[in-house]
Amino acid sequence: MSRRYQPNIIITGTPGCGKSSHAVSLVSQLGDSYTHLPVSDLAKERDCIDSYDEVLATSVVDEDKLLDSLEIDLEKGGAIVDWHCCDIFPERLIDLVVVLRTDTSLLYDRLSKRDYKNNKIQENLDCEIMEVILNDARESYIPEIVIELTSNSVEEMDENVDRINGWIENWCKDHPEGVTNVLDPELAAKYKKQQEEDSDEELD
């Protein structure tokens, strides 16, 4: 049975929140057992671009093809996934989801410096205000593995990286024999129950 001995971590959030900076800093501390997976770059390198959105000036990714491409990397373990989307990755292969949050005033400045179009900036600001990515993460994974961290400064980034590094150390201590890459039936049942409870609350 396929097993991994290092955890897979998604670092996600609205564009401009510092995902890549966090991922690069984290991997530089962790060493060769961990790999930074900058998904936007890998989608291009692995020919997973489906089309181009002229309105938002962004590539549209073929998510099925992308996931097929990344599954081998994830099964090895030690993947630090860096992308603005998190809900396409199978729960059985993800151990921690870090959602970075940034004040919209700072986010606006960061995206403006990237020469984003005004409509693209506004869409991303709306996404941050509405907590779209955070909600996607909470709906796609059990609550215990989703954490929200503020990313407004270099100091906060350093604190976040130290916190994630500490979490990894604890994970490795708690899983000396690794974990299976097959979805744990108990975990699946727990997640399904949580989803049903959330649905009942929405109906009420």
CB-count burial class (<10 Å; 0-12, 13-18, 19+) for 147 = middle
Amino acid identity for residue 41 in this structure: D
Whether 18 has a binding-site annotation, put simply, is yes
Cα–Cα distances in Å, from 85 out to 29, 61, 143, 173, 203? 24, 11, 17, 29, 27
Whether 114 has a binding-site annotation, put simply, is yes
pLDDT per residue as tens digits for the range 103-150: 999 999 999 999 998 999 999 999 999 999 999 999 999 999 999 999
Q: Which of 66, 73, 69 is nearest to 2 (CA)?
A: 73
Whether 19 has a binding-site annotation, put simply, is yes
Q: Where are the domains of the chain?
A: 3-203
pTM of the predicted structure, to 2 decimals: 0.85
Top-level CATH class of 3-203?
A: alpha beta
pLDDT per residue as tens digits for the range 27-82: 999 989 999 999 999 999 999 888 887 776 677 888 899 999 999 999 999 999 99
pLDDT per residue as tens digits for the range 16-42: 999 999 999 999 999 899 999 999 999
Mean pLDDT, the chain, whole residue set: 90
Whether 16 has a binding-site annotation, put simply, is yes
